[in-house]
Amino acid sequence: MSRVYITTPLYYVNADPHLGSAYTMIITDTLARYYRAQGRETFYLTGTDEHGDKIAQAATEAGMETKAFTDKVSAAFREAWDRCGFSYDYFIRTTDASHIRYVQEILTRVHQAGDIYFDRYGGLYCFGCERFYTPKELRNGKCPDHLTEPKLIEEENYFFRMSKYQERLLRHIKDHPDFVRPEGFRNEVAAMLSEPVGDLCISRPKSRLTWGIEIPFDPRYVTYVWFDALINYVSALKTKGEEFFQKFWPEAEHFIGKDIVKPHGVFWPTMLIAAGLPLYKHLNVHGFWTREGQKMSKSLGNIISPLEMKEKIGMDAFRYFVLRESVFGQDADFREENLTARYNADLANNLGNLVSRVLAMQQRYFDGVVQPLAGPWAAEDRQLKATFVQAESEVEKQMAELQFHRALEAIWAALDATNRYVVETAPYTLIKDSGKAARVGEILHHLLEVVRMLSIHLAPFLPETSVKLRELLNISAGAPLDAPWGSFFTPGHKINPPVALFPRIETEKKPAPA
C-alpha cells in the first residue's frame, strides 16, 4: 500500500496560532484527508518548537518558569488545532524526553564520526534569529528579519561540518529536480549551495542560554535550537519504533513557509547525510499571507486568528477561502471583501442553494423518499455523471501538483454544470404535468447523487460540510459511500429536509445613485 508522511513546521511557543500557522495546517490537513480517502497509509505530524532564547525570553516576560510556560502555550496550540478540527496523527514537543534523547543520540553519532568540531569563533549574532550572520547576508548592516544590528560575539562553540556535504546535496537537487518545490524555491536552495555555505554553529554556551538540549559530550553547552527542532521529523517516527520509521521516512513530505527554506533546504539535508539517514522526499514551500496588503504583526494588531474566523464564518468557509484564494508557493493577501464575495458567491449561492433546492424539491414532491431510476438514462443524466467523473480526475491531477485552488475550481465547475442541469431539466415545471412525476423522480435521484458525490469530493477540503451533507442524505456510517452512481439509494430511502449550510453574509448596500 502506498504511504505518505506529512509534516508541518513546529510552531514556536512565543506566539498564538495565526493565519500563517493555520494556513500550513489547512493545506496539510486537506492533503492528509485526501490521501487517507484514497486509501494511502498516512502519518501526519505537527507540534511545537520550545527551546532557545526567544522562548526563554517570552517566559520571562510572562513571569513564568520556562517549562511551565511552554507547557501552557504548547497545550494552547494543541487545543486550538483540535478546535479547528485538524486531523494530525501525532503532536510532538521538542521538550519531550524521547525527542531530547534522540537529538543527543544524533549529536553523539555525528560527533563520533568527526563531523562536529570545537572552535573559537567571532561573528555577528542576531539574538532575534538566534544565529550568526555573514556580512553578506545582512541588509544595510542589519538583520533582514528583525531590522536590528547584530552584535559581535566571540566565543568557543561546536560546529557541524555542513560544508563537507554541500556538493553532495547540490548533486541530489540536480538529480531530483522536485526535491524542493515549487521550482522557484528549488532555485533558491541551489543558489545557496552554489556559494560556500560554511559550517554551522550548533551549540550555545550555558553562560548565556540554558534553555536547550544539553550537548551530550560537553555539559557546558546546549544545542542550537534549529539543530534540535529539525530532528523532530525523525524523532517523532522513532517514538513509534524502528519499523514505523523505516516505513514512513522515505515518504516524508515537509511543508513549510518560505522564511524557513534555508534550515530545511540546507541545514536539515546535510544533517541527515552526516547522521547516515536517507533524505526526505520533498520540501514543499508555501508563500506568505498579508492582510489587506500589509504584513501581519502583533504590533499592528492585524493578526487573523483561526479560532475567531471559525466563530465568525465557520471553519469550512475559512478553509475554503484560504485554499481557493491562494496559489501554493505564492504570496496571498487576505481581504475581508474578497472573503465575503467568495463566501456569498461560491458557498452560499452556488453550493448552499443547490443543495437546499434539491432537498426541498425532494421533500415537497416525494415526501423525501428517493425515487427509482427505472428506464434508460437520458443524455443529460449521463452527461451530469460524466461531469463528476471528470471533476474527480481533475482533482486528482491538481492535488498531485498541490494546486488546491485548481482542485476546488474543478469541483465548482461541476457544481455549475449541475445548476445548468437543474435549469435545463426544470423539475419544478415538469412536476406540474401529472404524467411526468416519474421523470421528476429520476432527475432528483441524479441530483441527490450529485450531493453524495459532493460529500465525497469536498471531504478533504470542507470536512464539516461533507458530514452535514451525509446527514442530510440520511446516510448511515457504514453505508457503501463509493457505490456506483445510481445504485446507492435503496428503495424507500428517505432523505432529510434542507438546512441553510452557508447563510448569506449581508453586506452593507451602497446607496443607489441619485
Residues pairing with 254 in the sheet: 7, 283
Gap between the Cα atoms of 234 and 5, Å rounded = 11
The 8-class DSSP code of residue 308 comes to H
Three cell numbers written together for 398 = 491538481
Min separation Cβ 10 and ligand MSP, Å: 5
Q: By rule CB under 6 A, what string of x and - marks binding of each residue 345-384 to ligand MSP?
A: ----------------------------------------
Q: Which residue has the cell 441553510?
A: 500
Pairing of strands 116-126, 131-133: antiparallel
Please, what sign has the CA dihedral across residues 94, 99, 101, 102? negative
**Considering only 34-42, 251-259, 349-357, 395-403, which stretch makes contact with ligand MSP by CB under 6 A?**
251-259
Least distance CB 234 / ligand MSP (angstroms): 11
CB of 245 or CB of 485, closer to ligand MSP: 245
Quick one: which of 4, 5, 9, 362 contacts ligand MSP (CB under 6 A)? 9
Single residue of 5, 6, 12, 470 touching ligand MSP by CB under 6 A: 12
Other Cβ atoms within 10 Å of 148 Cβ, number: 12
Distance in Å, CB of 83 to ligand MSP, minimum: 18
CB-wise, 226 or 343, nearer to ligand MSP? 226
User: Measured from the CB of residue 407, what is the shortest distance to ligand MSP in angstroms?
Assistant: 20
20 forms part of the interface with ligand MSP (CB under 6 A): yes
* Cα 298 off chain centre by: 23
Cell of 144: 533582514
Amino acid at 205: P
| Of the candidate residues 59, 84, 261, 296, the single one contacting ligand MSP (CB under 6 A) | 296
Q: Which of 4, 6, 11, 319 binds ligand MSP (CB under 6 A)?
A: 11
CB 134 within 8 A of CB 88: no
The answer to the question of residue 73 lying near ligand MSP (CB under 6 A) is no
Question: Would you say 180 or 495 has its CB closer to ligand MSP?
Answer: 180
Least separation in angstroms between residue 172's CB and ligand MSP is 20
- Closer Cβ to ligand MSP, 256 or 274, answer by number: 256
Three-state SS for 377?
coil
Does 259 sit near ligand MSP (CB under 6 A)?
yes
| Cis geometry, peptide bond prior to residue 182 (ω within 30 degrees of 0) | yes
3-class state of residue 244 by DSSP: helix
Figure out which of the listed residues 260, 341, 369, 378 binds ligand MSP, where binding follows CB under 6 A.
Answer: 260
Q: Interface residues for ligand MSP in 179-238 (CB under 6 A)?
A: 229-230, 232
Answer for which of 4, 5, 6, 10 binds ligand MSP (CB under 6 A) is 10
Tell me which residues in 21-40 interact with ligand MSP (CB under 6 A). 21, 23-24
Minimum CB distance to ligand MSP smaller for 4 or for 10: 10
On whether the CB atoms of residues 421 and 415 are closer than 8 A, the answer is no
Taking the least distance from each CB to ligand MSP, the nearer of 256 and 317 is: 256
How far apart are CB 225 and ligand MSP at their closest, in Å?
8
Where do the DSSP E strands lie in 8-57? 11-12, 41-49
63 Cβ contact partners less than 8 Å away, ≥ 6 residues apart: none
CA dist 444 and 381 (Å) reads: 11
- Closest approach, Cβ 478 to ligand MSP, in A, equals 39
Q: Which is nearer to ligand MSP, 10 or 473 (CB)?
A: 10
Q: Any contact of residue 289 with ligand MSP (CB under 6 A)?
A: yes
Q: What Rg do the C-alpha atoms of the chain give, in angstroms?
A: 27
Q: Which stretch binds ligand MSP (CB under 6 A): 8-16, 181-189, 352-360, 444-452?
A: 8-16
Kindly state the number of chain residues that form the binding site for ligand MSP, as judged by CB under 6 A.
Answer: 19
Determine whether 65 is exposed, middle or buried from the number of CB atoms within 10 Å of its CB (0-12, 13-18, 19+): exposed
In whole angstroms, the minimum distance from the beta carbon of 124 to ligand MSP comes to: 21
**SS3 sequence of 251-285:** HEEEEEEHHHHHHHHHHHHHHHHHCCCCCCCEEEE
The pairing of beta strand 90-93 with beta strand 41-49: parallel
Indicate whether 303 belongs to the interface with ligand MSP (CB under 6 A): no
Kindly state the smallest distance separating residue 268's Cβ from ligand MSP, in Å: 8
* Rounded Cα distance, 259 and 286, in Å: 9
Closer CB to ligand MSP, 15 or 467, in the complex:
15
Instruction: State yes or no: residue 329 binds ligand MSP (CB under 6 A).
Output: no
- Cross-strand pairs, 47: 92
Q: Three cell numbers at 251?
A: 515518504
Report yes or no: 280 and 272 within 8 Å, Cβ to Cβ.
Answer: yes
Region of 19-27, 75-83, 167-175, 186-194 interacting with ligand MSP (CB under 6 A): 19-27
State how far the Cα of 385 lies from the Cα of 491, in Å rounded to an integer: 20
Nearest Cα residue to 402 out of 458, 349, 469, 328: 328
Instruction: Name the site residues for ligand MSP (rule: CB under 6 A).
Output: 9-12, 20-21, 23-24, 49, 229-230, 232, 256-257, 259-260, 288-289, 296
